[in-house]
Amino acid sequence: MESIRATYSASTNLPLDEFAERMAVAQTIGLKELDLDQLEFPEETRREVKACIANASWRPTGARQKKGEAPAAEAGPPQVFELDYPIGVFDRTGGLGQLLAVVAGQLTAYVDALRLRLIDLDLPRTILKRFRGPRFGNVGIRRQLGRNADRGPLLGVIMRPNLGLRPAQYADIAFEIAAGGADFIKDDEKFSNPAYCPYEERVPLVLEKLAAAKKVSGRQTLYIVNATARANEIPRTIRKLKKMGAGAILLPGFCVGLALVEGIVRTGFGLPIYCHRAGYATLARSSDFGIDTFVLTKLLRLAGADMFSVGMIGGVNAANQQDVRMHYRAATCEWGKIMSSLPISTAGMHPGTVPHNLRVYGPDIALFGGAGVHGHPEGTRAGVVAMRQAIDAALQGERLVVAQQNKRELRSALGKWGELDAGEDVPRRIE
């Protein structure tokens, strides 16, 4: 029988097998079999209900507690177990909302759980076919940029300062970004349609500047506009932004809801979606409870996000090489008919972090910088140029300390921020 397999890591007050079996019932029919048998249902109904109970299996990784032992005062080593949820549990139109309610809806609620995390999720083809996935993905976005045959690094810049700019000021900075050679300009996730810089004034001015900058750089630059609004207003906002000429839209998926993102994608507005990870750490960062970032990456792709962050090494957010490689694979691996998303490395990017991140990810990646571009001693355009110089040097196998000798912008950037050491795997703050 086909099933959705959810893998959990747990430490509990109960023996693992007993806890897993209890959770299998609670996450599905919500009633013990013994209690179910006492209800006046026909035998056929009882069989159908029992068929919805997840099948529990486990592979202990530490010492197992025996029945009758006193509850542990502290959480012991996490152990792994799996629940196979029958596909009949899931409605054909339930989507991500129902999927998450079943496999992760009660992760922090079980009184006997000292630790409980969802660490993987495998979907059979029957379920996978119900999800549309990205409409554009990596290939479609590169086609929009006129980079069809190019699978090299793309470069994006996040607008800074992200709040307080008037439309004309915003557009002037956008020109500097595009003239420097960026492929993307992105609104910050906290900035959408403020009264002092509304869409109606900002977007046309930015697009006008991008057209002028293309004559300087020779590159097409996509403007990713933040479409965050009340849920009922988001579709109308996207239609308006498309009519204005926006190149893509941004939605913070874990803030507005992945089911909403999925619905936007299925409606088909004809614009790529950058799904920002704002809020993901609330679900993922705790080592005791929540959902692993690897699973969240899979969910973003299922929802249909065309591009999203897979983390970076040496940035301002906690990350390590093993994790970011797993997230990259989740965004790009073959997965039925669901196309690959464009993986983005961001959150603290500056020229000195480029070589190491390209060694970790390879060239098929987009690098997004914010303060590490705008904070360049010679200004925003020089910051973009320095990023391009660092990318080119890394692709040619040239060390930055050598490349900087005849590249003024790169030399200035390294003088301010330095270069990430290949063995350094800790967050670094950009001042």
Structure confidence at residue 41 (pLDDT):
61
Residue 140, classed as helix, strand or coil, is helix
Look up residue 407 and give its amino acid. K
Maximum mean pLDDT: which of 34-43, 79-88, 101-110, 414-423: 79-88
Kindly tell me if the per-residue pLDDT of 188 is higher than 80. Answer: yes
How far apart CA 186 and CA 202 sit, in angstroms, is 13
Structure confidence at residue 93 (pLDDT):
81
Average pLDDT over residues 50-62: 66
Q: If you write DSSP's letter for every residue of 26-89 in order, what string do you get?
A: HTTT-S-HHHHHHS---HHHHHHHHTTSPEEEEE--SPPPPTTPPPPSS--S-EEEEEEEEGGG
> Omega into 42 within 30° of 0, i.e. cis?
no
Look up residue 296 and give its amino acid. L
Which residues neighbour 356 within 8 Å (Cβ) at sequence distance 6 or greater? 313, 314, 420, 421, 422, 424
Helix (H) or strand (E) holding 5: strand 3-12
Q: How far is CA 388 from the centre of its chain?
A: 24
How far apart CA 183 and CA 102 sit, in angstroms, is 40
Ramachandran bin of 286, using left for φ above 0, alpha for ψ from -120 to 50, beta for the remaining angles: beta
Structure confidence at residue 48 (pLDDT):
66
| Per-residue pLDDT reduced to its tens digit, 322-340 | 888 888 999 999 999 999 9
| Per-residue pLDDT reduced to its tens digit, 363-405 | 999 999 999 999 999 999 999 999 999 999 999 999 999 999 9
Do residues 416 and 376 make contact, with C-beta atoms less than 8 angstroms apart? yes
Closest CA to 312 of 339, 277, 273: 277
Q: If you write DSSP's letter for every residue of 255-266 in order, what string do you get?
A: HH-HHHHHHHHH
* Ordered domains of the chain (ranges, CATH): 3-128 (3.30.70.150), 137-417 (3.20.20.110)
Structure confidence at residue 66 (pLDDT):
42
Bigger pLDDT: 127 vs 319: 127
The pTM for the full model equals 0.89
How far apart CA 122 and CA 179 sit, in angstroms, is 44
Do residues 274 and 304 make contact, with C-beta atoms less than 8 angstroms apart? no
